Amino acid sequence: MLKADKSRELSKKYEQYYPGGHSNLRVPSDVTDYRLFIKRAEGSHLTDVDGNEYIEFNGSLGPNILGHSNPEFANVIADFILTNGTEIGSNMLFTPMDIEVAELLRKYVPCAEEVKFTSSGTEAVKMAYRIMRAYTGKPRILRLEGHYGGWADDILGGWMKPDEEGRPCVSFEDRGLSPQEDPYQTHGRAPNAADGIFMIPYNDFDALEETFEKWHDEIAGVHFEGVNWDNNGLYPKPGYLERMRELCTKYDVVMSMDEIITGFRFGLGGAQELLGVIPDICTLGKAMGNMIPTACVAGKKEIMDVTRNGYVLCPGTYPGYGLGQMAVKTCIEMLARDDGAIYKRVRKLQEKLMNGMVELSDKYDIPLTITESQGVFSTLFGIPGGIRRLYTKEDLKDFDNGIVTVFQQYMQQNGIFIMYGGRWYMTAAHTDEDIHAALVAIDKSFASMKKNNMKFVME
């Protein structure tokens, strides 16, 4: 049984000041009746204020790629703060490091000829929207159902609702669904947020062809996740992105790949290198800076050049700030070292963990599918099949998120902290000992789940 007295006390105080928490996306992330307050984070381990220790597979929701307090990374960052501060001038003063960062991105990211930095993934996606509209002179951005791009009014959620002329428009109206049924519904959205958006079903070739053929004169760009990790790791069907690439080229539509999660987690070239489809522009963030907030749009010169000379404004105080640039430079150099040795080691550990989990699910007759990519995987309970790729929301229809929550509760009681929704992130700090401990915890958790009919019982 975990100790929780201090966390309970702090939770009561926290609730007085922070309504809904720091990031209040309505997906259940707390699996206890109190919030977890961390006192120390090192490598793959967390220690809370009550002295409980956890092995962490939460990945700080994705940015954590090297591990907490990685000595090499931390020393570089600390030295930079001591000698330069954190911000130098935001387009008034610069450092030679700005050039080095751009050259690294151009070297490893297939579409990156020019780059424009911002501070967060949401800002990067908003910037991409503005760039696409300015470059083409067309008004609408095409989105794919289920693909996440941040919390801005015209990016977050929505549902397909064709207008009277058959345009694949989107609606943000409140349909009266619960937060569990539609976690992206929000009040306070701008009344005209849907005006510049089209939406089509993901992996539907017919919808893709028809939309481009009929409405290409209105479509400035299409923005999508290379692999839909914000929807349990759904992959594009074979040929889907290739056809999208052809249609974008044919109809002067900018192809924009969201690599906020996949960039520098899948590998140095991200999802576009893995999938072999090169977008016109992409958005990058999270792992690129190893937990130091930074993001960017990178892409072809002819498109990115619309931001020159004030034609398209992308202002801000922190774009390209010194600490962020140093984080990107250091992180990429560490990931690239020895021909990407970090990725290879993490891959072996991830496969050991996933294979072990599938064996244990078979042992306890718990239906489980694992969708996976380099550095990230999802445990989809209720769907049998083991490690495999899924493609559509129909493939997820038997997914039981309730079992995931129960599993997360048991795992936390057994010293393993994972992300809500069943997503796991690997880091360079994970060890063979961590994987062994995780599999022991999974064995105990599955046994308790079967004993208690998949319900959580305080033990």
Q: Is the per-residue pLDDT at 351 higher than 90?
A: yes
Which residue has 């202002």 as its token pair? 315
pLDDT of residue 28: 60
Residues 42-80: tens digit of each pLDDT: 999 999 999 999 999 999 999 999 999 999 999 999 999
Mean pLDDT of 29-40: 88
% the chain with pLDDT above 70: 98
pLDDT by residue (tens digit) across 386-405? 999 999 999 999 999 899 99
pLDDT, position 410: 96
Instruction: Please report the DSSP string for 179-223 in residue order.
Output: TTT-TT--TT--TTTTTTEEEE-TT-HHHHHHHHHHHTTTEEEEE
Yes or no: say if 22 and 382 are a contact pair by the CB < 8 Å rule.
no
Per-residue confidence (pLDDT) for residue 299, from 0 to 100: 98
Model pTM score: 0.96
From residue 320, give the alpha-carbon distance in Å to each of 43, 91, 118, 218, 251: 27, 8, 7, 33, 33
Q: What pLDDT was estimated at residue 458? A: 64
Place of tokens 């590998």: 267
Identity of the amino acid at 182: D
Question: What pLDDT does 387 receive?
Answer: 98
The total of other beta-carbon atoms located within 10 Å of residue 352's CB is: 15
| Span of 89-93, 235-239, 350-354 with lowest mean pLDDT | 89-93
The tokens describing 351, both together, are 């496969």
- CA-based angle 308:63:117, to the nearest 5? 10
Chain segment 403-436, per-residue pLDDT in tens: 999 999 999 999 999 998 899 999 999 999 999 9
Q: What is the mean pLDDT of the chain?
A: 95
List Cα–Cα distances, 459 to 31, 51, 99, 416, in angstroms.
Answer: 15, 19, 56, 16
90-146, pLDDT tens digit by residue?
Answer: 778 898 999 999 999 999 999 999 999 999 999 999 999 999 999 999 999 999 999
| pLDDT given at position 29 | 65
- What digits encode the pLDDT tens for the residues 253-269? 999 999 999 999 999 99
Is the pLDDT at 459 greater than 60? The verdict is no
- The tokens describing 268, both together, are 């140095």
Q: Is the pLDDT assigned to residue 376 strictly greater than 70?
A: yes
Q: What is the model's pLDDT at position 27?
A: 64
Instruction: Output the pLDDT for position 457.
Output: 77
